[in-house]
Chain A
């Protein structure tokens, strides 16, 4: 190492932080500031005559009583929002299970076996993105009507019709999985695609069967992709409030997002809505941190 940094070194030292500027600005403008605003509303509780919250910008003015109510109503079993939180967790969990069950094989096939059809398959996976999410859900409402095509098709094989849309958790979970599946497949595909083909060949050359190759090579190497895909889909699912509104509309399938919407849309208690936003963010952040720890550990292992 030279004793004095050369001119070139100094330039690069300034260049790299400069490159981070747009990202930093983005993060501050679109995350830190809004998040602070949510806190200022959640910890205020004052409104003007127009039902608009008066945020407490100064942390010294913060009051935590209504946020405390939000927390106790969320986490005590008899609390008003307890049920909604449990439901949100269960729906997100099962929708993720479905995503893994359907998405992993699809991503695997596309990355490893599709060959020349890979472009076509990728295009098909992305095709739903050409249509607005809400429109796709409304299309399902048509299909799932009592006299819709789904029931007609089931009738052909002798299964009696089912009221899919009358407040069924089953329908909501499948709708969530359907809606977010492409978001799940794409990052997983990217990570499966990056696995070095030679590792798999080596494994087979050494006489390991296809299944064990998968469980010992492919699965561990795609673990980070799997976790990324799960995080990317779980975050929006947990905050979703329109999927269940469209395919159910019943109070017994409402999720946390619906409660947030109820309080933020109108009325004098926007601080409760902001409190729920804060709580949801904290819960999701907990998982994000876990994810970041995993990524760091993985990159450390890779460096070794």
Chain B
């Protein structure tokens, strides 16, 4: 995902020759996408969670209506004030692949004389496995709300020293004191996104009031995709079929009904699953694709030559209270060898200019107050017709979100998802 024209480290401009340009482009895109399509990879913002094997987790489970304060333990204190940043060697980031602008990392490395390296993961299980490896050390990690509590419980992350992160004030006030980490003891926000439907405006004649219905519409058969993510897909079906608003439900009957409706999509529209809406819709492989809002913003850079962003459309629920939203955070692993530098990079990412640059590259919006929908469209980062892909503060306050559930609930959802994926 690339965009910001001012980013010196952006991928080289795509070839624009007359001959078979489109195929060249696709070749380039597919190779990158290939990694995403490869079944080994799951989704960004994919909430995987769990508890103790025997039920009841040994820590408090955070809920939007039951916020938690993650205690700062004596055994795991934050770093002292006023330390000099470390220099030399490598700075190790544990992150989803392609989730931070290479230009931002490169400049940071140059400024502090370190080489910045990214170890990628595809889901939280993999991230946890990597961060827990004995002898391994990482300086930065990106845990979402559903995985944070257990990481604090197991001392995998260290508390932040806010004196190094003055830019936290640039962030939406609600994110300075979020429900999953009161007082931002361990995390600052990285990105926020919503889940909606991206479609080809030039092929879809009218968008129904509930845009999810586009996926159940036979006209688009063969070109309909749901996110390859059990939570997102089943939650969509729960909402579309008005089964329940509780997108973390542990009611077996509700989950079964939602899944049955998803299974209908197989014979109805020959549904496919992947997480590449940002390329499938612009390239026309998909007409309708359930997607994350960040995909919509990145999508404009995957349009074939000669097409403008007007061919794209994004539907999201009108009411914030129906909108599924998610967020990712930045935290510093306990094993960090360069914790001061880690604080500095966190502060950089919350800087309006650097945050904007990073957003321009990956399409995922940082919740910085200055980067409002109006600002981003005025600056040309988002085409006017796609301005609704910007997540608003009211969305975060009222939206629906996935949180950490018990392993039995997780298993219930997974077993149903497997039923859908079996194409039964």
Report A's interface with B, CB cutoff 8 A. Answer: 46-52, 54, 80-84, 87, 134-135, 138, 141-142, 145-146, 163, 165-167, 241-242, 245-246, 248-254, 258-259, 261-263, 265-269, 272
Contact = CB atoms under 8 A, between A and B. Distances in A.
Nearest 8 CB-CB pairings of A with B: A252-B423, A166-B222, A251-B423, A268-B407, A266-B125, A249-B272, A266-B123, A50-B128
Contacts of B221: 166
Contacts of B411: 267-269
Contact of A141 (B30, B58, B122, B128): B30
A249 B273 contact: yes
A47 B31 contact: no
A51 to B, nearest CB: 5
B42 A134 contact: no
Nearest to B128: A50
Nearest to A137: B34
Interface residues of B, number: 54
25 contacts: A47-B50, A48-B52, A49-B57, A49-B153, A80-B415, A84-B422, A135-B34, A138-B34, A146-B284, A166-B270, A167-B270, A167-B272, A245-B37, A249-B37, A250-B273, A251-B421, A252-B423, A254-B423, A259-B422, A262-B421, A265-B126, A266-B123, A266-B126, A268-B410, A272-B415
Contacts of A81: 418, 422
Given A52-B129, A80-B415, A267-B48, A250 B39 contact: no
B222 A163 contact: yes
Contacts of A134: 34, 38
Interface of B: 23, 26-27, 30-31, 34, 37-40, 42, 46, 48, 50-53, 57-58, 122-126, 128-129, 132, 150, 153-154, 221-223, 266, 270-274, 284-285, 407, 410-411, 414-415, 417-424
Contact of B39 (A48, A82, A141, A258): A258
Contacts of A135: 31, 34
Given A50-B125, A51-B125, A80 B418 contact: yes
Contacts of B222: 163, 166-167
A269 B413 CA distance: 11
A51 B37 contact: no
A221 to B, nearest CB: 41
Contacts of A83: 422-424
Contacts of B53: 46-49, 54
Nearest to B39: A245
B414 A259 contact: no
B42 A50 contact: no
A138 B271 CA distance: 20
